[in-house]
Structure 1
Amino acid sequence: MRRHIVGIIAAGLLLAGCSEGSGDDKTEPKANPEAAAETTSTAPVKLSDKWGPKLDAAGDKGEPGVCTEVGSPGCVDHITQLTEVVYDVETAIEEAGAEALYPRSMKHIDGVEAASEAYVAAECKGSTDTTLGDSACAGYAATLLLGPATLSMTMQTDEYSS
């Protein structure tokens, strides 16, 4: 019974639409630019295409062994550059209004930020601890060294999940 009612209503709407268009006024429907904008704006954001290569390149810039000692000037400069790229990605996600599309990435960025703050608070700059050691500074440095590469993969995971 419901199928018949839906069919009757659909036929009635179709006939009503045809009768409105009868007569000499044969104007073509006008394109609605707002509707077109809505259609294109609903396309999923994919920031990894732009930022993945930048994150990967950032990790490749360091010289081998640059962070053998986590507090050496070269290591401090290197992890500062790596952290800045991670923060640039955070800004890009926020400017795109895509925080909800990148939940794992935002959590990872928070982890990098926490490691950066802890590195500073623990006064790791100038430390002679080794990167692969058991010290807190070595742990912070390792997190910061791996931050961009891990974020690149995490962004792709977020995109595949959305």
Structure 2
Amino acid sequence: VNKVDDNDKVVTGKAEANSTVTVNIGKKRIGYAKASSKGSFSVSIPVQKAGTTLNVTAKDSAGNVSKLTYITVVKADVTPPNKPAVNKVDDNDKVVTGKAEANSTVTVNIGKNRIGYAKANSKGLFSVSIPIQKKGTKLNVTAKDASNNVSKVTYVTVVKH
């Protein structure tokens, strides 16, 4: 069973192919669904509070029920990353570099048009490939974390080299 947070409306994971996966709180069923032929499942549930313990079982076509898998609902990450620190960009540069939240996805846009993106490394360093831009072009750079929280925008104006 994959992680479940207090915003989730589905429980996902892998079980025996074509088995019926049931999600309970105690003995109360809150959702069930059939696993695919490859064993992946997605069970719709009502949103649960952080700290709630769910128990999940799979039942095969012969009626055999698996052992329980327990999973505790965690608090969702709703904190956006800090805005990225972006190094100077000149009209010869083919990359935008800087520092952002570790492992976040850094996106470089002109207006609403994305011109490049890359993942920051475990130290937060990033290098986004972009087409060469004219002096005076205003770039906007954001970082998005694994929970899809997006930072405030860092604006950078391309300078003459």
Greater percentage in strand: 2
TM-score tier, shorter chain, comes to: under 0.3
Given the two structures, how large is their TM-score scaled by the length of structure 2?
0.27
In the superposition, the TM-score normalised over structure 1's length comes to 0.26
Q: Tell me which structure has the larger Cα radius of gyration.
A: 1
Q: Which structure shows the higher helix fraction?
A: 1
